[in-house]
Amino acid sequence: ESHLLEEQILKGKNVLISAGPTREIIDPVRFLSNRSSGKMGFALAEVAAHFGANVTLIAGPVHEHIQHPNIHRIDVVSAEDMYHAMHKYYPTQDIVIKAAAVADYRPKVVHKQKMKKQEGELVLEMVRTQDILQSLGEKKQQQFLVGFAAETTNVIENGLKKLKAKNLDAIVVNDVSEQGAGFASDTNKVTYINRDEHLEKIPLASKREIAKEILRRISRDLEDEFK
């Protein structure tokens, strides 16, 4: 009976999902980014839409395609663009999932002209981007807020810290050092942790299957909150 849960609960819900990397511009021909493919976030959007949710998908630069009447896709480039897009749609959401791999730093200056090489070393000065998820956690009202954490060491411990620090309702922890998990892979293996610090391992499966398992748990926890 629990397999019917997400179909009933997600129907008509507003779900905001961010996916993919961000790109931080250095000059007209160069940028800094990361290895995120956007596949996990896109799978979440597809499955949520399939279960009848109204999905808003904020996507960084990715090669993924998506076509569903319930999905409204907005493409962004930088962490700053993603910040504004997320906050624009945030107030009316029931569920917010931050699967994007947001850059933690951006170059302090964006050069208007292509940089010419010089003798010796180059030092690029970087400044912190805003933590989008943290800012959403601070403004949280009715939203069930879910973060992702990409870790290579002390995976669970670091995930729990992020859950608390960012005022999340759940966090999906990803061990990106493991085979078949994370980034460009078509499969993933994660641990879902909710506010009660209840740990649930979701074994290696396709990102679509993982998306189903994550949404099933979000639906369950969202339902429990209103009991």
Is residue 23 a contact residue for ligand CTP (CB under 6 A)? no
For residues 41 and 32, what is the distance between their CA atoms, to the nearest angstrom?
A: 21
Is residue 149 a contact residue for ligand CTP (CB under 6 A)? yes
Residues 173-192 binding ligand CTP (CB under 6 A) are: none
User: With the C-alpha atoms ordered 63, 68, 74, 78, is the resulting torsion angle positive or negative?
Assistant: negative
Stretch that binds ligand CTP, among 41-49, 145-153, 186-194, 217-225 (CB under 6 A): 145-153
Is residue 58 a contact residue for ligand CTP (CB under 6 A)? no
Classified as helix, coil or strand, 55 is strand
Is residue 162 a contact residue for ligand CTP (CB under 6 A)? yes
Is residue 100 a contact residue for ligand CTP (CB under 6 A)? yes
Residues 94-113 binding Ca ion (CB under 5 A) are: 104
Contact 173, 152 (CB under 8 A): no
Cross-strand partners of 172: 148, 192
For residues 18 and 133, what is the distance between their CA atoms, to the nearest angstrom?
A: 10
| Minimum separation from the CB atom of position 104 to Ca ion (A) | 4
Q: Is 104 annotated as a binding residue?
A: yes
For residues 197 and 194, what is the distance between their CA atoms, to the nearest angstrom?
A: 5
DSSP state of 215: H
Is residue 42 a contact residue for ligand CTP (CB under 6 A)? no
Interface residues with Ca ion (CB under 5 A) are 104
- Residues forming contacts to ligand CTP in the complex (CB under 6 A) are 79, 98, 100, 102, 104, 129, 131-133, 147-150, 162
